[in-house]
Amino acid sequence: MSPYTRREFIKTSLAAGTVASVGALPLHATEQAATQQVTLGKSEIKVTRLAFGTGSNNGYVQASLGQKQFTELVHYAYDRGIRFFETSESYMTPAMLGEALKGFPRDSYRLMSKVTTDPGADPAQRFDEMRRVSQTEYFDIMLLHWQHTADWVSQTARWQEGILEAQQKKTILARGASVHGLPALRQMPGNRWLQVAMIRMNHNGTRMDGPSSADNNNPASVPEVVQHVKQVKADGMGVISMKLVGNGTFTRHEDRQAAMRFAFQQAGVDCVTVGFKSKAEIDEAIDNLNNALA
Q: What is the 3-state secondary structure (H, E, C) of the chain?
A: CCCCCHHHHHHHHHHCCCCCCCCCCCHHHHCCHHHCEEECECCCCEEECEEEECCCCCCHHHHCCCHHHHHHHHHHHHHHCCCEEECCCCCCCHHHHHHHHCCCCHHHCEEEEEECCCCCCCHHHHHHHHHHHHCCCCEEEEEEEEECCCCHHHHCHHHHHHHHHHHHHCCEEEEEEEECCHHHHCCCCCCCCCCEEEEECCCCCCCCCCCCCCCCCCHHHHHHHHHHHHHHHHCCEEEEEECCCHHHCCCCHHHHHHHHHHHHHHHCCCEEEEECCCHHHHHHHHHHHHHHHC
**Is the pLDDT at 66 greater than 80, yes or no?**
yes
The CATH number given to whatever domain includes residue 39 is: 3.20.20.100
Taking the C-alpha atoms of residue 115 and residue 158, their distance in angstroms, rounded to an integer, is 12
Average pLDDT over residues 201-230: 94
| Assigned domain for 63 exists | yes
pLDDT value of residue 3: 45
The Cβ-side half-sphere exposure at 97, using a 13 Å CA radius, reads 34
Average pLDDT on 248-257 reads: 93
Considering only 128-132, 147-151, 246-250, which range has the smallest mean pLDDT?
246-250
Q: Which one-letter amino acid corresponds to residue 40?
A: L
- pLDDT one-digit tens code per residue, 264-280: 999 999 999 999 999 99
- For the segment 130-143, the average pLDDT, to the nearest whole number, is 98
What is the separation of C-alpha 3 from the centre of its chain, rounded to a whole number of angstroms? 23
What pLDDT, in 10s, does the model give residues 137-183?
A: 999 999 999 999 999 999 999 999 999 999 999 999 999 999 999 99
Mean of the per-residue pLDDT values for the chain? Answer: 90
Convert the pLDDT of each residue in 1-23 to its tens digit. 444 443 344 344 433 333 333 44
What is the reported pLDDT for 234? 98
Confidence category of residue 59, pLDDT binned at 50, 70, 90 = very high
Q: Does residue 4 lie in a domain region?
A: no
**Contact by Cβ (8 Å): 251, 259:** no
> For residue 59, is it within any domain?
yes
Which pLDDT does position 31 carry in this prediction? 52
Q: Is residue 3 assigned to a domain?
A: no
**Average pLDDT score over residue span 43-56:** 97
Least reliable range by pLDDT among 106-115, 239-248, 252-261, 284-293: 239-248
Give the Cα separation of 58 and 74 in Å (integer): 17
d(CA 215, CA 4): 31
Q: Is residue 15 part of a domain?
A: no
**10 is a domain residue:** no
pLDDT of residue 134: 98
Structural domain includes residue 180: yes
Closest CA to 36 of 50, 53, 54, 19: 50
Confidence label for 247 from pLDDT (cuts 50, 70 and 90): confident
Number of domains composing the chain: 1
Structural domain contains residue 92: yes
Range of the domain at 207: 30-293
